């Protein structure tokens, strides 16, 4: 049995699905039962139900410093560990067991259960700065993988750095023009993708709205795909309409692969998913890292792409009036086709985003 432990957000579950998918392609471990362990958040169970995979829910809660949050965490720890141990014992009845932890507050109690039961743990870290759960699990994990070079207190551990972890089945091979047509856009027109992640980002939206007002000329010959987040559709659509720029604006796109495939340039947050997509689809990207993360892990996530010459990072100053640098960086990239082409070639030079396959090989090594 291969137990994938990670939940609380799609950012921890989707990489687990990607690795499980690669395990199922054959080789050692290909025939093992695969079970996902997630939190009791509705998002987790809905996502895994849609995928049609076997999963178990545990009552794990995130660590919090406030008394009520700390109490919830402590109260959930024991039941979560016990549930993990029960699942591991169930797996032992039919053979070998390994836990693949992909981060988030579900990972720590299941990794603890694995240690108590004497089964190996493979930790998969997605961000340049590991979170609390990953720092805890990393101390005793049997194998450590990271989709970004690790900085901070855990940097000295024997991490194996891999390319981004992307689901092969979610990657589209449909040509850019056809993807644009599917989205209701002109297949032959240059396309800008704007995304603040699955929840959207108001400050990213405001950067583009300001650019539409102040640098309207650079949007000539462009159309835009804009994932704006819930409640933002109205003002974002109004800005494009006023500027006379063709666009498709949605709170959320189900098939983001088509959006990335359609794009010649992107503006994005620098979460692990956004960085992975820019790499996988070789799209020159202006990254505006989340400004509320004190550890700056999003900025650090993007550095491999920046250092390769395939991306630009600009600090998001939140207030639209202060984001002049971001507006000018966007205008500069939109107006310079030669630079965009060079950036795309640099991204191609990074090689495939095959981190999921590399981790799957590592899991097979542990199982051997």
> What is the structure's pLDDT at 103?
92
For residue 290, the surrounding DSSP H or E stretch is none
Q: Please check whether residues 39 and 158 belong to one and the same domain.
A: yes
> What is the structure's pLDDT at 9?
78
Q: Are strands 311-313 and 285-287 parallel, antiparallel or unpaired?
A: parallel
Is residue 132 pLDDT above 80, yes or no? yes
CATH number at residue 286: 3.40.50.2000
Distances from the Cα of 162 to the Cα of 125, 133, 168, 366, angstroms: 10, 20, 15, 17
**pLDDT mean over 2-6:** 97
Q: Give yes or no for a contact between 228 and 196, defined as CB atoms under 8 angstroms apart.
A: yes
Q: Please check whether residues 179 and 119 belong to one and the same domain.
A: no
**pLDDT mean over 182-188:** 98
Q: Phi and psi (nearest 5°) for 12? A: -100, -25
Q: Phi and psi (nearest 5°) for 50? A: -60, -35
For residue 136, the surrounding DSSP H or E stretch is helix 132-138
Q: Please check whether residues 326 and 184 belong to one and the same domain.
A: yes
Q: For the range 292-298, what are the long-range contacts, defined as Cβ-Cβ under 8 Å and sequence gap of 24 or more?
A: 295/129, 295/152, 296/129, 297/127, 297/128, 297/129, 298/127, 298/269, 298/270, 298/271
Q: Please check whether residues 306 and 334 belong to one and the same domain.
A: yes
Structural domain tally of the chain?
2
Q: Please check whether residues 155 and 258 belong to one and the same domain.
A: no
The Cα 212–Cα 243 span in angstroms is 6
In 3D space, the residue among 211, 207, 328, 197 whose CA is nearest the CA of residue 269 turns out to be 197
The length of the chain, given as a count of residues: 368
Q: Please check whether residues 136 and 220 belong to one and the same domain.
A: no
Q: Please check whether residues 109 and 222 belong to one and the same domain.
A: no
**pLDDT mean over 60-73:** 88
Q: Is the pTM of this model over 0.85?
A: yes
> What is the structure's pLDDT at 292?
82
Q: Please check whether residues 179 and 143 belong to one and the same domain.
A: no
Is residue 282 pLDDT above 90, yes or no? yes
**pLDDT mean over 44-72:** 92
Q: Phi and psi (nearest 5°) for 76? A: -85, -20
Q: Please check whether residues 309 and 251 belong to one and the same domain.
A: yes
Q: Please check whether residues 319 and 357 belong to one and the same domain.
A: no
Of the candidate ranges 30-39, 63-72, 166-175, 283-292, the one whose mean pLDDT is the lowest: 63-72
Is residue 252 pLDDT above 80, yes or no? yes
Is residue 29 pLDDT above 70, yes or no? no
Q: pLDDT tens digits for 307-364?
A: 999 999 999 988 878 899 999 999 999 999 999 999 999 999 999 999 999 999 999 9
What residues does 38 pair with on adjacent strands? Answer: 57
Is residue 28 pLDDT above 80, yes or no? no
Q: pLDDT tens digits for 100-115?
A: 999 999 999 999 999 9
> What is the structure's pLDDT at 185?
98
Q: Please check whether residues 99 and 176 belong to one and the same domain.
A: no
Domain of residue 79, residue span:
2-165+353-367
**What's the mean pLDDT when you consider all of the chain?**
94
For the CA atoms of 358, 360, 363, 364, the dihedral, rounded to the nearest 10 degrees, stands at -100
Write the CB contacts of 54 (distance below 8 Å, at least 6 apart in sequence).
33, 34, 35, 36
**pLDDT mean over 202-217:** 95
């Amino acid at each position: 049995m291969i137990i994938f432990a990670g939940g609380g957000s799609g950012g921890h579950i989707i990489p687990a699905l990607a690795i499980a998918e690669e395990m199922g392609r054959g080789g050692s471990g290909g025939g093992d039962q695969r079970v996902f362990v997630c939190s009791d958040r509705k998002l987790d169970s809905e996502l895994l139900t849609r995928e049609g995979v076997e999963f178990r829910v545990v009552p794990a809660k995130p660590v919090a410093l406030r008394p009520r949050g700390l109490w919830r965490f402590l109260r959930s720890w024991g039941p979560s560990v016990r549930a993990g141990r029960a699942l591991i014992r169930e797996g032992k009845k039919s053979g070998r067991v390994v836990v693949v932890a992909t981060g988030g507050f579900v990972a720590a109690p299941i990794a603890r259960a694995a240690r108590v039961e004497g089964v190996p743990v493979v930790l998969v870290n997605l961000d340049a700065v590991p979170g609390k759960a990953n720092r805890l699990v990393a101390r005793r994990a049997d194998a450590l993988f990271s989709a970004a070079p690790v900085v901070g207190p855990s940097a000295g551990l024997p991490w194996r750095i891999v390319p981004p972890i992307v689901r092969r089945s979610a990657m589209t091979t449909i040509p850019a023009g056809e993807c644009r047509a599917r989205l209701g856009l002109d297949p032959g027109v240059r396309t800008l993708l704007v995304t603040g992640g699955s929840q959207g980002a108001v400050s990213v939206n405001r950067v583009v709205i300001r650019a539409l007002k102040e640098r309207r000329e650079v949007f000539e010959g462009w159309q835009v795909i804009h994932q704006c987040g819930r409640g933002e559709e109205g003002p974002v659509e109004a800005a494009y309409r006023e500027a006379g720029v063709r666009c498709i604006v949605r709170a959320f796109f189900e098939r983001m692969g088509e959006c990335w495939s359609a794009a010649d340039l992107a503006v994005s947050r620098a979460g692990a998913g956004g960085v992975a997509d820019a790499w996988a689809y070789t799209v020159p990207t202006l990254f505006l890292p989340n400004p509320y993360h004190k550890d700056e892990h999003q900025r650090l996530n993007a550095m491999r792409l920046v250092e390769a010459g395939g991306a630009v990072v600009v600090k998001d100053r939140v207030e639209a009036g202060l984001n002049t640098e971001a507006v000018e960086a966007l205008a500069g990239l939109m107006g310079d086709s030669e630079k965009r082409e060079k950036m795309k070639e640099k991204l191609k030079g990074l090689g495939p985003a095959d981190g999921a396959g590399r981790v799957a090989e590592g899991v097979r090594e542990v199982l051997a």
